[in-house]
Amino acid sequence: MPEPTGEPRIPRQREPAAEPRPRGARPAREPDPLTVMAMDSVLSRLDDPEPYRGDPRLPLHAIGEWVLGKLCGPDFLDLADARFASYTGTEPSAVDLHVLQLLAVRPRLGFEIERTGPHAKEEVRASLRALAEAGAVSPLPNPAWREEPSWRLADPILAYRYGFLAENFDRWRRGRVNRLLWLKTRARLHRAVFRPHFYGLARDWLVGRGSGAAPARVVLPDSEQRKLLVLDIATAGDSGEAAALGTGRWQLPLRPHQRGRMAYIAERLGHSGPAYAFHCVPPPEPSSNDIPAAALL
């Protein structure tokens, strides 16, 4: 055995424990472009978004921690509930609620809204006109059917209130089962708020590259297939014709048939201009017409 040296033994210092991360959240080194899009989709129209911002490094699958922590508190719930009155000065009528709830699912043609629900066509048309004048809804040109534009919610906070919170608003306000509610209804937030924002960025990207004068949405009546064919990403020229077409899929890889549907619609429209695929998940073999989500930011 070695002889003792007589020097005092210095206890080993333990490093302080790192601050625990939220459950399920592992921040990446760089901001996640899909998370940035998701957060901006909710906050882009707010006058003061800073109190509700989250960590952009969170992966998208952990976005629930931000939603539960920032968007489900009393302040933001009150803001969302009062959003309609900030446009019209009144509470929504039964017809207004009908229109808001339909448009929170996806953009729709005017006759689709009129034919759905118990309200008279004149009442629905009057509600659409009033909401458009107030700026709560806006039309998207339809190059395939120019007299029938698509109507959409112009404010993502309205989509959050009537597409995500919806009939569960009082349960969200009580706050007792918020995590369970999130697990059951999170797909609504992706459908009502995140995905439309992604499509909107893609349209703006096309316009910014000179591919068209205005964002558009193609809804083509196809007599052969007996259905309406839709491209959510498009632009229209000065005279209303299709200037550029695009296809995309929020959060998931693009399906193989989506390119074929875009080519079919382009053929039916007589469109020979640019056509792009917008990817949240990179394709195995990208081409010059494949646009990653990060390029839209």
Task: Give per-residue pLDDT as tens, 20-63.
Answer: 555 555 544 799 999 999 999 999 999 999 999 999 999 999 99
Q: Model confidence at 14, in pLDDT bands (50, 70, 90)? A: low
What's the pLDDT score for residue 8? 55
Q: How confident is the model over 163-221, as pLDDT tens digits?
A: 999 999 999 999 999 999 999 999 999 999 999 999 999 999 999 999 999 999 999 99
What's the pLDDT score for residue 230? 97
Domain boundaries, the chain: 33-197, 205-296
Angle at CA 66, nearest 5°, toward 62 and 72? 130
- The answer, yes or no, to whether residue 91 has pLDDT greater than 80, is yes
What's the pLDDT score for residue 20? 56
CATH number of 33-197: 1.10.10.10
What's the pLDDT score for residue 225? 86
175-204 burial: b if 16+ Cβ within 10 Å, else e: eeebeebbeebeebbbbbbbbbbbbbbbbe
Q: Model confidence at 92, in pLDDT bands (50, 70, 90)? A: very high
Averaged pLDDT of the chain: 92
- The answer, yes or no, to whether residue 156 has pLDDT greater than 60, is yes
- The answer, yes or no, to whether residue 17 has pLDDT greater than 60, is no
Check: CB of residue 88 under 8 Å from CB of residue 136. Answer: yes
Q: How far, in Å, CA of 26 to CA of 18, rounded?
A: 13
Q: Which residue has the higher pLDDT, 16 or 185?
A: 185
Q: How confident is the model over 237-291, as pLDDT tens digits?
A: 999 999 999 999 999 999 999 999 999 999 999 999 999 999 999 999 999 999 9
Q: How far, in Å, CA of 138 to CA of 151, rounded?
A: 6
Rounded mean pLDDT, 216-234: 95
Q: How far, in Å, CA of 64 to CA of 214, rounded?
A: 34
What's the pLDDT score for residue 29? 74
